[in-house]
Amino acid sequence: MPSLFKRFFARLPMARSTRAYDFALAQVDLSRAARVLEIGAGQGFGAAHLSRTLPQAQVVSVDITTECLKPERLETGPRPPLFIQATAPALPLAAASMDAVFLVMTFHCLPQPQQVIREAARVLKPGGVLILADVDGHHWMARPFEWVEHAFISPLTHAYTPEELAELTARAGLVDFHIQRRPGKEKGFMMWAFATKKPPR
């Protein structure tokens, strides 16, 4: 897949949007000193936003490539994000080291989806939360979205349904799976999926 198209799409305004992060953060209770992982750094705007919104948190952002990353253009919080080049199915992070894992408009094009969710579950602390924001596979826009992505971004793209995500998270041992949608946008193409790593008894 031509990297030219990756760089072009990464520079579209929607790639810089932080609204998906803000809505997700409003649904969870993260401590000020949380450790947060973002899978899919892109240009780094999401991780930078997380570091501003959670100024005492340590934000780690991974991506298989850094070709789109422009750290000198980012406005970060007092603790700048740590960017790591790595693959999502094999995260170079310790088990039970993260309070939250974010996948924002990323999961749909990742290889080995079950392994990605298992890795997210592995690095989450007990009680930690997986937050996944992506296109709802039931929405009419899902198929056109897949066609465009297949043509220009990734042949792996698949818009997952809530049922598919529920099964993937359950297989990884995560619990309390649920879907949230923005008020007034219940029929929109975006959905937010949440699942928790079971705390010890």
**The predicted structure's pLDDT at residue 17:** 62
Dihedral sign for Cα 67, 9, 144, 134, please.
positive
pLDDT at 175 over 90: yes
pLDDT in tens, 4-47: 444 444 444 344 468 899 999 999 988 777 999 999 998 899 99
What pTM value is reported for the model?
0.90
All structural domains of the chain, each given as residue ranges with its CATH number in brackets, are 3-197 (3.40.50.150)
112 token code pair: 């080995």
Give the chain as a DSSP string: --HHHHHHHHTSGGGG--HHHHHHHHHS---TT-EEEEE--TTSHHHHHHHHHSTTSEEEEEES--TT--GGG----SSPPEEEE--GGG--S-TT-EEEEEEES-GGG-SSHHHHHHHHHHHEEEEEEEEEEEE-TTSTTHHHHHHHHHHHT-TT-----HHHHHHHHHHTTEEEEEEE--TT-TTSSEEEEEEEEPPP-
